[in-house]
Structure 1
């Protein structure tokens, strides 16, 4: 199952715990239709039917079935660049 670094958990929490968002809010990762594996990340009020739910450090990630399979042995990291843009990176679990 996908795991999150402390940085990723903190950033996901910051994104999804804004005033006015539902308690079920999280990031949703879906696969994109392309020759190489590609993912789309978006804020979501809740998961979709069939999504795998990853909860770690108070952060919630929803994965569509294909993303869940592809990310099963991965670690999600995140950082904020100098311009304030969030960047996500994937690594292999040790």
Structure 2
């Protein structure tokens, strides 16, 4: 299952803090037309019925079935540039 770094969890909490339902809000990672080589990330108010849910430190990530398979042994990290724009990075899980 995908893991989240502390930076990623904080970035997701920051992004979802202003959502209409922050208690259920998160980010959703989904494949584009069953194409495992192309994943999209978007804000979500709740998971889709088939989504896997990853929760860490109060942050939620919803993964469609293809994304869940592709990211099973990965870690999600986040960083911000000088202007505060957040970017996410998928890395191999350490350990």
Return closer, same or farther for 1:6/1:85 CA change in 2, 3 Å cut-off: same
What RMSD over aligned residues (CA atoms) do the two structures have, in Å? 1.7
The aligned runs of 1:68-83 (5 Å cut-off) are 68-83=68-83
Instruction: Give 1:34 shift.
Output: 8.5
Question: Residues 26 and 92 of structure 1: is their aligned pair in 2 closer, same or farther, counting only changes over 3 Å?
Answer: same
Task: Give the gaps of 5 or more residues in structure 2.
Answer: none
How many pairs were matched up? 94
Counterpart in the other structure of 1:86: 86
Match in the other structure for 1:55: 55
Whose strand proportion is higher, 1 or 2? Answer: 2
Q: 2 CA distance for matches of 1:44 and 1:34?
A: 19
- Secondary structure at the aligned position of 1:41 is classed as strand
For the Cα contact (< 8 Å) 2:34–2:66, is it kept in 1?
no
Unpaired stretches in structure 1, ≥5 consecutive residues: none
Answer yes or no: is the 8 Å Cα contact 2:36–2:66 preserved in 1: no
Match of 1:5 in 2: 5
User: 2:32 — aligned with what?
Assistant: 32
Q: Indicate the residue corresponding to 1:44 in structure 2.
A: 44
Q: Could you tell me how far 1:83 is from its partner in structure 2? A: 2.3
Helix, strand or coil at the partner of 1:37: strand
